[in-house]
Amino acid sequence: MGTSLKNKFDSIIFDLDGTLWDSTGNVAVAWQTAMDQVDYVDEVMTRERVRSITGMAYNFIFDKLFPELNYERRTELMSICAKSELEILHTEGGELYPSLDETLGYLAGKYKLFIVSNCQSGYIEVFLKISQMEHYFMGHQCYGTKGNPKAENIKDIVNNHQLTAPVYVGDTMGDYDSATKAGVPFIFANYGFGLVENGQIATISTFSDLVDLL
């Protein structure tokens, strides 16, 4: 896990998917439901396929998954998938990682907490509603709000809330790159979907490791 980093930061910014929860199973169901509504896609959406693109900006996900579609059809499918995703997650949610509530409660007593994700607009709000953990967080930002890269959204949180010593917790190389571009130290959550071999200031194997670390 690494050495203690207690009293070194004033705030923690979290990634969402693969860091706070895993919604890939229900997202796969939602996207399959959406795909069944059009006549130009004949594929099966699996949890593994969703996991393979988790963390990418929302429009780039559909560029990668459906490169054979022209822009109009890909955009239409993305819109249908986005609507289906929010509808299903509103009722089914995702799998919260173990000790999430207790750990966030501890951290919120010491740090300002935020979420920055590459998801669509409304997705973070669904997580906060389903998990009933909105009271722990002071703010959030996502790709869907302005269409900006994650690094810019991290910078927005830092600047808008006048953070002086933030740290970012995420689970992919994209998270590490974004935090680094934003000038924010990175903690790698290796229980998530990605791999970061070098550059992080610490690695956690469970979410609750943050209690001992921070």
pLDDT in tens, 31-48: 999 999 999 999 999 999
Task: Classify domain 11-21+96-213 at the CATH topology level.
Answer: Rossmann fold (3.40.50)
Nearest Cα neighbor of 50 from 77, 79, 18, 73 is 18
Question: Of all residues in the chain, what percent carry a pLDDT higher than 70?
Answer: 99
Could you give the strand order of the β-sheet that contains 202-204, starting from the edge strand earlier in sequence?
139-142, 112-117, 11-14, 166-170, 186-189, 202-204
- Alpha-carbon span 40 to 4, nearest angstrom: 53
Q: What is the pTM of this model?
A: 0.94
Task: Sketch the domain layout of the chain as residue ranges.
Answer: 11-21+96-213, 24-92
Q: What is the pLDDT of residue 4?
A: 78
pLDDT confidence band for 58 (50 / 70 / 90) = confident
- Alpha-carbon span 146 to 142, nearest angstrom: 8
Nearest Cα neighbor of 154 from 17, 125, 163, 211 is 163
